[in-house]
Structure 1
Amino acid sequence: MPALTLENISKIYPARPRSMMQWLSSSPQASGLRALDNVSLTVEHGEFFGLLGPNGAGKTTLISILAGLARASSGTAKVCGHDVVTDFKQSRRSLGVVPQEIVYDPFFTVRESLRLQSGYFGLRHNDDWIDEVLGNLGLSDKADVNMRALSGGMKRRVLVAQALVHRPPVIILDEPTAGVDVDLRRTLWEFIARLNKEGHTILLTTHYLEEAEALCGRIAMLKGGRVVALDTTAALLARVGGTDLEDAFVRIMNDDEFLGVTA
């Protein structure tokens, strides 16, 4: 049973009607934005998988569907075999997501925020694991600091800690190192690489393609809501050519005829 399964996923955002009469006469999918177009892929347990694409390619929409924040217009998505719609409680217990945006509750300290997050998943007396996560993310000395007092980089570390606090088997990192310092990037990747070696499945989106090339065993590339390339990192580089993943990525995104999807 794969860690993540996406079968024929499409997502259409309805166009905003110009008038009430237009809204009443239009179908929900008429003239809408097709953010995802029949996307199918699987991520096996223990993989470090890269999901790459330019802005607007559909990466965050796909993650939102897996996390239950958006519903696909068609197709099915599963996390560890649990359908994200019909078995949403188990699918969400199996998933930890680090979002792009920095979102936090300004009324709590770091430790209180993590205890609260644990409670969402029915976990009590989770302080030993919270301490371990805080230590590995360089947050131990900030444990009793209010979230409002943290820098942007420290807040992003807390987002990572919140995604890990219930020990999910699948971890999604949506551009986790965007705009952060070198120290956080190094600390984060060391900890995530350790979790991956311990059996956690990692799905990464990033615009730092050197990170994806160094970390990911397989990569899928999205373009216009479609999967245009899916292969191991080494095989993709060999097939497309180029000196590195960034070069291969640019070639694929600029070639309107390219459709290099493999099974």
Structure 2
Amino acid sequence: MSIGNSPEDERPFHDVSEEDRPSVGRALQQARIAAGLTVDDVSSATRVRIAIVHAIEADDFAPCGGDVYARGHIRTLARAVHLDPGPLLAQFDAAHGGRPAPTPAAPLFEAERIRPERRGPNWTAAMVAAIVAVIGFVGFTAFKGGDSGSDGKSQVAGGGASPSAGKTPSPTPTQDKPAPPKSDPSDSAIAAAPQDKVTVQVSADNGRSWISAKDHNGRMLFDGLLNKGESKTFQDSSKINLILGDAGAIQLYVNGKKIHDDFRPGAVERLTYTKGDPEVG
């Protein structure tokens, strides 16, 4: 009988240190492969661009555009590959100086403003001023015409000839009313959305949020702050790209149908809708 360690005691002890734990990108990649999903599958399910998915799996978060965007993408990708996003976000925060402090939506995206929203002319005030001018002119003309008629009758009763008795009174000149302003096609009723186009209505039902909308050519349709109770409607022949600064405050209607996504307050969402959305199923 020998005295010493048993074979089990002689096996090397493996300590899973912090360095041995897979990185955030590596963990997402392994979970995606284990789920039998391709990068295209994850991109289609999350609407995160393929290039960004590849970059995150390589632990390159620069294409995300900042830590706030990166955290949102990590949370979205983790859910798509059936991972708990909490540990991954904690690992990301530890590697990038901690969780960023909450920032109001408007200052956060102030640097991304491309151009201010253009305000159209105040057609209502112009129309009211024109109507008031027409009414005043007609009233003044009628008053002067009434005085001239009284003078003519007095001259006829006295035997004098009325100089204007055989003349037809000239018509009263009137000012043309300005044509009412044409409504923007993007403000048309969401229920009447044409089937050959994609129509997206964004409503700030639960608070204010910064939003950005582009058409299929990348042309900016709107870039600004949407206050609570306000809404915007966008329309394009094939595709609308959206960025929501505070998705939890927004309600979406796509092609006449309400979108029932559970967006969290303060979450940043990048969305793309086409003529076939929302899918029937």
TM-score range, shorter chain: under 0.3
* Structure-1-length-normalised TM-score: 0.22
Larger radius of gyration between Structure 1 and Structure 2: 2
Counting strand residues as a fraction of each chain, which structure ranks higher?
Answer: 1
Q: Looking at both structures, which has the greater relative contact order when contacts are Cα pairs under 8 Å and sequence separation is at least 6?
A: 1
* Structure-2-length-normalised TM-score: 0.21
